Chains A and B, each alone.
Chain A
Amino acid sequence: MVLQPSLKNCLWLSCVLRTPKAGFRSTASGALVIQSVSNDVYQNLAVEDWIHDHMDLEKQQVLFLWRNSPAVVIGRHQNPWQECNLRLLRQKNIKLARRRSGGGTVYHDLGNINLTFFTTKKRYERMENLKLVVKALKALRPQLDMHVTDRYDILLDRHYKISGTAAKLGRTSAYHHCTLLCNADKFVLSSVLKSPYKGLKSNATPSVPASVKNLFEEDPSLTSEMLLDAIAKEYAMHHHTDHHITLINPADETLLPGINNKTKELQTWEWVYGKTPKFSVSTCLNIVYKDSILDVKVNMDVKHGRIEVCNIDLPEQWLPPALYSKLVKSLTGSKFCPNETTTLAATLLRVCPQDDELHSRWNLLCENMIMLM
């Protein structure tokens, strides 16, 4: 049962969280279970950062439970263009977040639960955590056939992935987090995690696609709440502590000083897109113009999310050379981003000859370029 925090619990938690790494004066035993009241992926990721940076995990380990409204979360060293359909994300208003741990890309919605196990670096042990999760689920529904692979995935019926894992290690602390598919929208999941972008070459960590299944499909009586509770109970038992889930609000600056800055940083373009390892785009635009199809070879190098080098192989004189070179010069150094490119393209058009034919060619070329982003 999830207990609502009383004022006393809030104050106690406040003491527990605010005390610097010197350790706790409280009577807290080996472990703490906290749950976020927010479904905002950035706020929840910020809580992970905060606990990782500020809490002393020597005397007390932490299990953090959280769920997000629809979002795609990529790993620290991944390339969002390679991993998901950014156009579709923008259309459906699905958020894109980059987490600080490694690993691959996942889709979150309220039918997916996230578990983060915080320990000291010494006590970092992923297999142990996952075995705990499986134990909890088995206690809840003994008939489920679940199995932890050596890639730290949890498989259902030896075939379907129901959980993926990632981890972050710092100087003294570490965390291992994993997902758990209860009742997520598999249709949206598969469509957003399919990248339409061709010709990308990068050393970014690739995701390993897998067939997924919801626990709900095996047993419709299961809900996210039941799973969270079962896991929290198992965790508490394992650490010989009371089964008690403390709710926390990731926007509470008094409880978590500095959290709002962390949340903001996770939302910046520089973090989400700018941290993409250097990659190149080498493709051919098939521009349908009047009655013919133009093959336009495009080569771009993108570093820190910005276009470092840009080459567009247009037929000679299709665009006036001066205008073409203005376009290439403007694109160089600007973000590999459809919004920015659209604005630049529209602006450049203002200061060139007012010719309808020229305008339509220009818009056509720019729209095709934007499709790459």
Chain B
Amino acid sequence: VCIHRVRSCSNIRFIKSKHVCVLDKSALKFSHQQRLFRTSAVSCGQIVQFKLSDIGEGITEVTVKEWYIKEGDSVSQFDSICEVQSDKASVTITSRYDGVIRKLHYSIDDIAFVGKPLVDIEIDASKGVASEEDVVETPPMSHDEHTHQEIKGHKTLATPAVRRLAMENNIKLSEVVGTGKDNRILKEDILNYLAKQTGAILPPSPKAEIIPPLPKSETLPAAPKDKARKIPLPVSRPIVFSGKDKTEPVTGFQKAMVKTMSAALKIPHFGYCDEIDLTQLVQLREELKPLAEIRGVKLSFMPFFIKAASLGLLQYPILNASLDENCQNVTYKASHNIGVAMDTGQGLIVPNVKNVQVCSVFEIAAELNRLQSLGSAGQLGTSDLTGGTFTLSNIGTIGGTYAKPVILPPEVAIGALGKIQVLPRFNGKGEVFQAQIMNVSWSADHRIIDGATMARFSNLWKSYLENPASMLLDLK
């Protein structure tokens, strides 16, 4: 029993989750006293030099290209150790033993020789002899993964990997029903046995054997459905969750977001929201869409929103300004470079349409098409992504109504557009009609923009969109 515990402890310590290990707490307690147990109960493991085996075709030397393990790592039989290359063939070398890697005989790009030592592995004394007998020393069986083993005279068919999994979970192989050929016990049989015992959700192991996906009904807990109806009963069986937290560094797009948002935090934001009746615009777009298509351009609502914003900025240029770092000077930008927030596979990017003040709605649409296709291909250039003065974010394409957008420095304002919904509204005659309603949420820098300015800009923008014909009066 002592030896059992120590062995399973050594597997816990070097965590390489290739197998599902359901541990009971008592095993963990022993890990602190591991050294004590090792020296008293187990003699030093035997160090074996694992030689590079014959690769075939008379090849005598290969180049080491990648190590999958490092010194000190624990390996199991059949785990990948390294990748070597010889004359257009890439070979995965797998371990013959269970144990701990003690020495790597080569570095990357070194030439390794067939028949010479590749790594030194310290084999667990308790297991050492057994694993060699099972697979290595009996050539006829070395190519057959399923070895016939005898335990106490009772012939149980299972691979060494399956045996180990059973041993680690204190399962008697004789109690498990084998579903493989000749009643062979497969890994899924052990997993099924465990699932029945603990009711746990077991993640599938990325090993060579095929594990058909466990039917969902077995593994999903029933609690969520019942929650609404009754108080969940305390669970009597121990629930074990073997998932692990995953930590990754913040890089690339996320890093960019962190920088932008940290800077944005310094801006005192205020919000202003409103509702726009787009009924007339929807109709207008329907009429204009085919015309644009003939010219090879997809026409969405954004070009109208963008142009209307630019017309509004002509009247309220402070919304197209920039405040310097010391808040000493306000620069009124001459160009209306209106940014459009885009969601790509990797994250949020904001390319901008340059000089909207001199562009027609059609030209804006064409430019948006170009930016969108470049954006989805990940090919936007620096000039597309810099120089923006004002931003619109059409979050409504994904969903939502009101939002609280964050201003992108060095800009001073931003608008978030919700989705267009068909809602009942009253017309001038007091009748209810179907209106196409969209919500807009503006945020502005309260250091230089006051509520009244934002409200007036919003009203102007709204009037252009609710009555598109009025845009004609002010188009330059």
Contact = CB atoms under 8 A, between A and B. Distances in A.
Interface in A59-102: 75-77, 90-91, 93, 100-102
Interface centre among A77, A174, A335 (most CB of B within 10 A): A77
Contacts of B229: none
A256 B411 CA distance: 52
B90 A102 contact: yes
A20 B180 contact: yes
B452 to A, nearest CB: 26
Given A20-B180, A22-B181, A93-B377, A350 B92 contact: no
A351 B89 contact: no
Contacts of A124: 56-57
B383 A363 contact: yes
A23 B144 CA distance: 10
B212 to A, nearest CB: 6
B382 A367 contact: yes
A126 B89 CA distance: 10
B253 A343 contact: yes
B247 interface: no
Contacts of A205: 85
A16 to B, nearest CB: 13
14 contacts: A21-B145, A21-B208, A58-B144, A77-B90, A90-B377, A100-B90, A102-B85, A166-B88, A168-B92, A205-B85, A257-B211, A339-B379, A350-B408, A354-B324
Contacts of A252: none
Contacts of B257: 347
Interface of A: 18, 20-23, 53-54, 58, 75-77, 90-91, 93, 100-104, 120-122, 124-126, 151-152, 165-172, 174, 203, 205, 257-258, 277, 306, 330, 333-335, 337-340, 342-351, 353-354, 359, 363, 366-367, 370
B382 to A, nearest CB: 5
Nearest to B85: A102
Interface string B394-411: 000000000000001110
Given A22-B180, A172-B145, A363-B386, A75 B90 contact: yes
Given A124-B57, A277-B108, A354-B322, A343 B386 contact: no
A330 B258 CA distance: 12
Nearest to A100: B90
A104 B386 CA distance: 40
Contacts of B408: 350
Contact of B349 (A122, A338, A343, A348): A343
A347 B379 CA distance: 16
Nearest to B409: A350
Contacts of A104: 88
A366 B382 contact: yes
Contacts of B89: 101-103, 166-169
Given A277-B108, A342-B382, A345-B382, A335 B180 contact: no
Contacts of A53: 208
A367 B381 CA distance: 8
A165 B89 CA distance: 9
Contacts of B88: 75, 101-104, 151-152, 165-167
A351 B256 CA distance: 11
Contacts of A363: 382-383, 386
Contacts of A337: 252
Contacts of A330: 255
Interface centre among A21, A76, A91, A277 (most CB of B within 10 A): A21
Contacts of B256: 343-344, 346-347
Interface of B: 55-57, 65-66, 78, 83, 85-92, 94, 108-109, 143-146, 180-182, 184, 186, 208-213, 249, 251-253, 255-257, 259-260, 263, 322, 324-325, 331, 346-347, 349, 377-383, 385-387, 408-410
Closest 4 CB pairs of A and B: A346-B385, A103-B88, A102-B90, A347-B256
Contacts of B322: 354
B333 to A, nearest CB: 9
Nearest to A127: B57
Nearest to B54: A121
Nearest to B204: A258
A98 to B, nearest CB: 11
A223 to B, nearest CB: 28
Contacts of B180: 20, 22
Interface centre among A120, A152, A333, A339 (most CB of B within 10 A): A339
B92 A169 contact: yes
Contacts of A101: 88-90
Contact of B143 (A54, A122, A306, A342): A122
B379 A169 contact: no
Given A77-B65, A104-B88, A167-B88, 5 more contacts: A102-B90, A151-B88, A166-B90, A342-B385, A343-B385
A81 to B, nearest CB: 16
B251 A335 contact: yes
Contacts of B379: 90-91, 338-339
A203 B85 CA distance: 13
Contacts of B346: 339-340
A101 B85 CA distance: 9
Contacts of A58: 143-144
Nearest to A351: B263
Contacts of B380: 339, 342
A354 B331 contact: yes
Contacts of B186: 20
Contacts of B109: 203, 277
A334 B181 contact: no
A187 B180 CA distance: 53
B439 to A, nearest CB: 27
Contacts of A120: 143
Given A76-B83, A277-B65, A346 B382 contact: yes
Contact of B324 (A75, A203, A353): A353
A308 to B, nearest CB: 13
A349 B381 CA distance: 14
B324 to A, nearest CB: 7
B90 A351 contact: no
B336 to A, nearest CB: 16
A370 B212 CA distance: 45
B56 A121 contact: yes
A331 to B, nearest CB: 11
B387 A335 contact: no
Given A277-B108, A353-B325, A54 B208 contact: yes
Contacts of A367: 381-382
A172 B255 CA distance: 44
A349 B410 CA distance: 9
Given A75-B90, A203-B109, A333-B251, A20 B209 contact: yes
A172 B184 CA distance: 20
A345 B380 CA distance: 12
Contacts of B94: 170-171
